[in-house]
Amino acid sequence: MKVTITYHDNESFTVEEVVKQAVHNYGKAVDVEIMPESTMAYDHIYFGLQQLITHEQLSILFEQGGTYQQDIKKLREEILYKVTEIIDQVIIDNESKVG
């Protein structure tokens, strides 16, 4: 019997955490599909950024030392650089479709 369960998880930090909990609750045969809350572009962007940032941010947060603010600033800059590259690529792709 196939059972489909859909729910919104606002407590977990990472995809791996959600999968681990699903395997714990339903066994190794569980099929977990994780996606943004909706199909709206904003939700996709938020979800993608969350995937890019969360692991590294948690590592920075729990490391010993008092450099969190400096390290998070560096992470922010790295992510903004990657996002800028994606924006540039979308613009180039759109222009190539028009021309």
pLDDT in tens, 30-42: 999 999 999 999 9
Residues 6+ apart with CB under 8 A from 54: 13, 14
pTM of the model: 0.83
The domains of the chain are located at 1-34, 37-98
Q: Is 26 helix (H, G, I), strand (E, B) or coil?
A: helix
Determine the number of helices (DSSP H) and then strands (DSSP E) in the chain: 3, 0
pLDDT in tens, 7-32: 899 899 999 999 999 999 999 999 99
Report the C-alpha gap between 46 and 98 in whole angstroms: 28
